[in-house]
Amino acid sequence: MSPSSPSTPPARHTAEALLRGAKPTINPLEVTLERLGSAIKMGLYEPGDQLPSERELAQMMGISRSTVREATHLMVEQGILVAKRGRSGGIFVSEHPLPESLMTLRLRLNKAGATLSEILDHRLVVEMGIAELATQRAEELQIKDLQDLVAAMQETYDSVEYRKLDIRFHLLIAKATQTNRLPAIAPKFTLN
């Protein structure tokens, strides 16, 4: 299925927007781990979902296949992904990923030299700018997708489902800016 195919589910479009991003200029392995991890944490790839092939991921992300291979291998070792061999094999999101503890989150924030308040202030400023650009540049189909997501969010009472819809909503707003960079950085604003 191609990214522009009308039958591609909206979550896959969002996942592809996140994975594409700008070509990594720092450490491609770290960027790959961060992008794949973010896509999984946000529910764009759900437990049991098969990831695109190594070749497709490399092409999408503008990196080498060996970098994709190394990143997926590390994520398999961490229990985030599962490698299955054989005819129906591939790389799949683990059905039972290990949850990040609150302590780990605090350590990660401290390591980054940030407080929760600073992150929320940053989100406020950046997300308002993204929203403003999206209102100027969004295409008709993107507006309809956003309206559909809002309707689905209003109808759900499941907090896990709501969170997934909310993340997709914010990524679609970033994608509506018609830039590659903003959808790629949107996951940095999530706290999980």
pTM, full prediction: 0.49
Do 139 and 79 fall within a single domain? no
Confidence of residue 3 (pLDDT cuts 50, 70, 90): very low
Do 6 and 32 fall within a single domain? yes
d(CA 169, CA 186): 11
Residue 107's pLDDT is: 62
Residue 151's pLDDT is: 93
Domain count, the chain: 2
pLDDT digits (tens, 9 = 90+) for 94-135: 887 655 555 566 666 667 777 667 777 777 888 888 999 999
Residues spanned by the domain of 131 = 100-192
Residue closest to 161 by CA, chosen among 19, 16, 42: 42
d(CA 179, CA 36): 20
Reduced to 3 states (helix: H, G, I; strand: E, B; else coil), residue 76 is: helix
Once rounded to an integer, what is the mean pLDDT over residues 26-41?
82
Beta bridge partners of 83: 91
Do 87 and 121 fall within a single domain? no
The phi-psi region of residue 64 (left if phi > 0; otherwise alpha if psi is between -120 and 50; otherwise beta) is beta
Highest-pLDDT range among 22-31, 66-75, 101-110: 66-75
Choosing from 48, 78, 98, the residue where a domain stops is 98
Once rounded to an integer, what is the mean pLDDT over residues 38-49?
87
Residue 8's pLDDT is: 56
Q: How many CB atoms lie within 10 A of CB 105?
A: 13
- The domain spanning residue 91 has which CATH number? 1.10.10.10
* pLDDT over threshold 70, residue 10: no
Do 4 and 80 fall within a single domain? yes
Residue 125's pLDDT is: 85
Do 39 and 113 fall within a single domain? no
Do 106 and 78 fall within a single domain? no
pLDDT digits (tens, 9 = 90+) for 149-184: 999 988 988 777 887 888 888 889 999 999 888 887
Once rounded to an integer, what is the mean pLDDT over residues 14-25?
63
Question: Which helix (H) or strand (E) is 91 found in, with range?
Answer: strand 90-93
Q: Which residue has the higher pLDDT, 64 or 109?
A: 64
Do 86 and 110 fall within a single domain? no
Q: Which residue has the higher pLDDT, 23 or 35?
A: 35
Q: What token pair was written down for 162?
A: 């709501």
Residue 191's pLDDT is: 47
Do 71 and 126 fall within a single domain? no
Q: Please, what is the end-to-end C-alpha distance for the chain in angstroms?
A: 30
Do 72 and 125 fall within a single domain? no
Choosing from 82, 98, 114, the residue where a domain stops is 98
Do 117 and 72 fall within a single domain? no
Once rounded to an integer, what is the mean pLDDT over residues 34-44?
85
Residue 192's pLDDT is: 46
Do 1 and 59 fall within a single domain? yes
Choosing from 79, 98, 117, the residue where a domain stops is 98
Do 73 and 124 fall within a single domain? no
